Amino acid sequence: MLHGDGTNRWYDKSFNLIIAKDGTAAVHFEHAWGDGVAVLRFFNEVFKDSTQAPAITPQSQPASTDSSAAVQKLSFKLNDALKTGIIAAKEKFDATMKTLTIDCIQFQRGGKEFLKKQKLSPDSVAQLAFQMAFLRQYGQTVATYESCSTAAFKHGRTETIRPASIFTKRCSEAFVREPSKHSAGELKQMMAECSRYHGQLTKEAAMGQGFDRHLFALRYLTAAKGIALPELYLDPAYGQINHNILSTSTLTSPAVNIGGFAPVVPDGFGVGYAVHDNWIGCNVSSYTSRNSREFLQCVQKALEDMFDAMEGKSIKT
């Protein structure tokens, strides 16, 4: 659904409605014009209408149209330059797609219901799992991006939540590097700190109080007015925080089975996830420099560890 063989995906269009032979359907959309919230609204409307008032049922009679007369084949006259261009584009597409891997897990021990009983933000637990997983796999904390809708505002698009914090770093290191040094109670307390801070960041982002869009707008205006870039934008830290190795996004709906996207940088992960009532789903993509299967095994381990801590059990090393 993400790329197919490239021959019937129209990447210049707002979205593609893809329907497979077996009736499986997907919306594939280009991200510049709009965000998941808008597409999900469309998704939900189509799902509701097509399930509650389907235009065609198994009992429907076939239309009396003679398709051989109604449908006309178009023959494209291509010159050699166009043919060469198409072949080159197809080869480049195939080569790129060969380097992309997509994999997913379903964590069945619990979801929203259990986490809310533990007084933890379900989203913060999922994000903490990604921090722990990356630390376990690569031994470091990296720039992490989580999209947050600002649709409460007219023309609002998104703001960034920055899920990697001093709190998640401290908590991840405790779980991954020295779990035996901490009691289950201490680990739970660290998780609660992460949850509180993540909740604060989420509220700020949703109310347009993040820093990413603000700095981006100033940078854009600087370039548009031909002013020299302020020093801040030349700082290596600014470059690093905008090279989002962990790009994450979540949306849930009864109309959606699974969602996902490619990484936003060559050495990154694209992490689509959803915390459902009683399970957590995670769909990860990567190119050749990262191992998405191994990352998912580390996400699974992180979730197991956190659930063990919440249930008062010791962490298995």
Which residues are marked as active site?
Answer: 31
**Bridge-partner residues for 27, per DSSP?**
17
**Bridge-partner residues for 248, per DSSP?**
146, 271
8 A C-beta contact, residue 251 and residue 274: yes
User: For 176-204, b where at least 16 C-beta lie within 10 A, e where not — what string?
Assistant: beebeebebeebbebbbbbbebbeebbee
Residue with token string 């470059």: 239
Number of H helices, E strands in the chain: 10, 8
Q: What is the DSSP string of 83-151?
A: HHHHHHHHHHHHHHHHT-EEEEEEE-S--HHHHHHTT--HHHHHHHHHHHHHHHHHSS---EEEEEE-T
SS (H, E, C) 293-307: HHHHHHHHHHHHHHH
- H or E, element range at 19: strand 15-19
8 A C-beta contact, residue 221 and residue 245: no
Would you tell me the crossing angle of helices 292-310 and 122-138 to the nearest 10 degrees? 130
Closest by Cα among 282, 295, 283, 287 to 264: 287
